[in-house]
Structure 1
Amino acid sequence: MSYAGDITPLEAWKMLTDNPDAVLVDVRTDAEWRFVGVPDLSSLGRDVLYIEWNRSNGQHNDRFLAELQDKLPAAENERPVVFLCRSGNRSIGAAEVATEAGIGPSYNVLDGFEGQLDAQGHRGDTGWRAVGLPWKQG
């Protein structure tokens, strides 16, 4: 594993709650943010960083690292960074790229915002939203 590790949504929330320097980066697409919903950190007095790992058309965002570095100045590279996607797959790549660039420790949120597919092919039994963490419609 080339990043700090995988954590559950509840562990991510605890890290964000306990460490005021920790950052949550949602790497889903703009369409997912708008139509599915987004994590809500307002109770912690912070905002989520939104940087697409892939564009809505499925193409990889070649500017991902540059956008992340723009939002996290080099002086802040030692703060914990928690990456979140729909199901915990894209965010692995984001955590790996961030780690390679010296950002972090960087973590991946298992099951992401919506969770894995169930036996019926639906999401929503696991993930950030399913465990009752704060979120809002995009």
Structure 2
Amino acid sequence: MIEDIEPGKVWEALQADPQAQLCDVRTDAEWNFVGIPDLQSLGREVVLIPWQVYPTMQRNGGFVEHLREAGMVSETPIYFLCRSGARSLAAAQAAQAAGFTRVYNVADGFEGPPDGQGHRGQVSGWKAEGLPWHQR
């Protein structure tokens, strides 16, 4: 079972453990147009590996290989992030099935659920919690 971790707790974990990694599994279009978490104050960058490939949204067949190519090993604490927490959960499950033992899902993702007007990033998630992020 994959544990959901609130974004603020993920930020604390990233601050406390220099081995911990934040892996954003959204598409390149989302990274470019919505923004990405900013880990510069921690002296590192978010790992960008799409779970699905835009525009077809087919699953990235090389996802686990890309984790390894990014330097992650089975014991690396990896926090998976997507828009709202669904794709990141699937990515965490795939990583766990491939032998990664310390995988977590960022609850409510980068933007969280829509508010009453249908806008994301206001109710919960990385942006709504005021955690660092920037446009690419």
| TM-score tier (shorter) | over 0.9
Match of 1:16 in 2: 14
Q: Runs (4+) of structure 1 moved beyond 3 Å? A: none
**Residues 29-64 of structure 1, C-alpha deviations (whole Å, 9 max, x = no match):** 000000110000000001111000011111111111
**Residues 40-99 of structure 1, C-alpha deviations (whole Å, 9 max, x = no match):** 0000001111000011111111111111121135xx321210000001110001110111
Identity of aligned residues (%): 53
Match of 2:65 in 1: 66
* Unaligned residue ranges in structure 1 (runs of 5+): none
Corresponding residue to 2:110 among 93, 113, 133 = 113
TM normalised by structure 1 equals 0.92
* Unaligned residue ranges in structure 2 (runs of 5+): none
Corresponding residue to 1:82 among 68, 79, 82 = 79
1:81 touches 1:104 (CA, 8 Å); kept in 2?
Answer: no
Q: Which amino acid aligns with 1:18?
A: A
Q: What secondary structure sits across from 1:72 in the alignment? A: coil
Instruction: Please state how far the C-alpha of 1:117 moved relative to its aligned partner.
Output: 1.9
Question: What RMSD, in angstroms, separates the aligned Cα atoms of the two structures?
Answer: 1.1
Q: Which amino acid aligns with 1:133?
A: L
2:45 is equivalent to residue 47 of structure 1: yes
TM normalised by structure 2 equals 0.93
1:27 touches 1:51 (CA, 8 Å); kept in 2?
Answer: yes
Q: What secondary structure sits across from 1:108 in the alignment? A: strand
- Distance (whole Å) between structure 1 residues aligned to residue 130 and residue 116 of structure 2: 22
Q: What secondary structure sits across from 2:54 in the alignment? A: coil
Match of 1:129 in 2: 127
Match of 2:98 in 1: 101
